[in-house]
Structure 1
């Protein structure tokens, strides 16, 4: 996915795109409306589903379309052989997100980063999980500094909403939602869980049309037939198919 990719560059998944925009775009761009009706702004959205189904691409395209600060991290970016470094990196990451609000903070393969406390021994993953839960709850963040950040990015509004992480929405992606701790999935942290399924026939056709938009096709190429014969292909598989044909 290129830096300036749009949601329209991702074939199919119209309902997923709409739900993602409603959960992320509206709270970040129209916080006054949420405050007016007394609605809490969602803190996080979890995208889960099989690999290669455009979970990462959806987050990147949404941030590009909204023109907001986009921070992307994975377990490899945060882990360190030194005790306490990973937790410190989590705190610094959220601090950068608050300073750059409105911000989309994307955590890829979150199951590798935090996992579940019931599936393993205590260690760095549990400490990182505790740090992530603390930051998402806003514990230890000075309210005055948050109010200043909010006034800066919303044009010096006089009222600051009660949320600590105002202007920050966390989007996470995983192939293994069963490996995540229940404390992370409760409302108030990841408020919305969106399943990104393998593309169906209509979605595969839409993906093929997007992928072949700039590829000269012969008269014998039938995209509808290809969509029918590529059952269980993911979006990544469809992209690889087009690359193989062109090479």
Structure 2
């Protein structure tokens, strides 16, 4: 076909497209009409013009396969059909269609829906002395983590490297975050607390950037304790991941831990997880997060301290903390907080019913204990299976001893 033959054909297409535009103006909610117009525009190499019509079609019929297929074709990069074609303003189109078709890629000018990731660094005022009980945990922290950092001369003498981090693990609600803050206080370091929601992002490539920014912020704030909460979610085993973006985030985390391209001097890494058996083994290799510390439910001394803290600002009368601590063996710190709140609620409702304000008494705790039970049972069952069937290397020996002590294995 010669160029002369093409001209009438193109003119015919233009006339049909113009006719369909008029029909669409008259029937803007007709999905079939919108798709037909978009199909002609895409076939004519005018994908940018088709996109608004396809967006309207998808607004009325989100499940339309034809509209989705055409949208993919319209969004694909195309060769210009004429030397004078104007380039497509993809940023403007992305913004216009954000409610219908979310952007798939992030380039240097885009930073996700909520702007650039900016982690907050805080200064903490707590020390290990503020942590009630947990003597064994404190001793282990001092020996394996704090002592080498406090004694640079001895560290140099014994060639002790500060590379690597410490993972706190145990049942939920047992104070792992508070212990991490206390470590920062002991070191006189800034504290940077990060969870899964802070790092992962729906935009492809943005999760990796968030991880980079996280470590950059920690290095700038050094000395700094970087605390990765919910490590099993952030650093889940890559073999279990279905979304490639999350795997890329884990790979970026590994790169940052190795200090590739940067020096992590002064960045002290702590992590916490309820399920260490779900953490990618690559994260736990030497020089990365290579030490573990089991944080168990509070012992008797710690339970007394926790109960006293949560009752300190409440109107109470003759509360036997030792007796309560004895009856709450196996309760997590969160459970004890809930117990205090429940007892106070009982007293409040009784005061509202009678019209006479009264103090919280042991009788209120007796009532609350009937409803507030230890919440760590499901975790103990999972941990029991790991200790029995997944402890070939002996890394969960301490956990196994605790479970035997409680008659769980």
Determine if the TM-score, normalized by the shorter chain, exceeds 0.5.
yes
In structure 1, C-alpha distance between the alignment counterparts of 2:323 and 2:265, rounded to whole Å: 48
TM-score by length of 1: 0.81
Matched, 1:205 2:311: no
Q: What secondary structure, in the 3-state scheme, does the structure 2 residue paired with 1:4 have?
A: coil
| Residue 152 (structure 2) aligns with | 31
Alpha-carbon separation, structure 2, partners of 1:194 and 1:48: 6
Relative contact order: is structure 1 or structure 2 higher (C-alpha 8 Å, sep ≥ 6)?
Answer: 1
Aligned residue for 1:236, secondary structure, equals helix
Find the counterpart in structure 1 of residue 176 from structure 2.
55
Residues 46 and 84 of structure 1: CA distance in aligned 2, closer, same or farther (over 3 Å): same
Q: For residue 180 of structure 1, report the CA deviation from its aligned partner.
A: 0.5
C-alpha deviation, 1:42, in angstroms: 4.2
Conserved 8 A contact 1:9-1:210: no
Q: What are the equivalent positions in structure 2 for 1:1-247 lying under 5 Å apart?
A: 3-141=124-262, 164-213=263-312, 217-219=316-318, 221-247=319-345
> Compared with structure 1, are the counterparts of its residues 173 and 188 closer, same or farther at alpha carbon in structure 2 (3 Å cutoff)?
same
> For the Cα contact (< 8 Å) 1:114–1:180, is it kept in 2?
yes
SS of the residue 1:71 aligns to: strand
Q: How many residues align?
A: 223
TM-fit CA distance, 1:209: 3.8
Task: List alignment gaps of at least 5 residues for structure 1.
Answer: 142-163
Contact kept, 8 Å, 1:3 with 1:64, in 2: the verdict is yes
- Judging changes above 3 Å, is the alpha-carbon distance between structure 1 residues 27 and 98 closer, same or farther for their aligned structure 2 residues? farther
d(CA) in 2 for partners of 1:122, 1:32: 46
Q: Which structure would you say has the larger Rg?
A: 2
Gaps in structure 2 of 5+ consecutive residues: 1-122, 346-409
Counterpart CA distance in 2 for 1:100 and 1:186 is 26
**CA contact under 8 A between 2:310 and 2:340: conserved in structure 1?**
yes
Deviation at 1:213, TM superposition (A): 4.9
Q: CA RMSD in A?
A: 2.2
Structure 1 Cα separation of the partners of residues 248 and 301 of structure 2: 44
Q: Secondary structure at the match of 1:226?
A: helix
- Secondary structure of the residue that 1:189 maps to in structure 2? coil
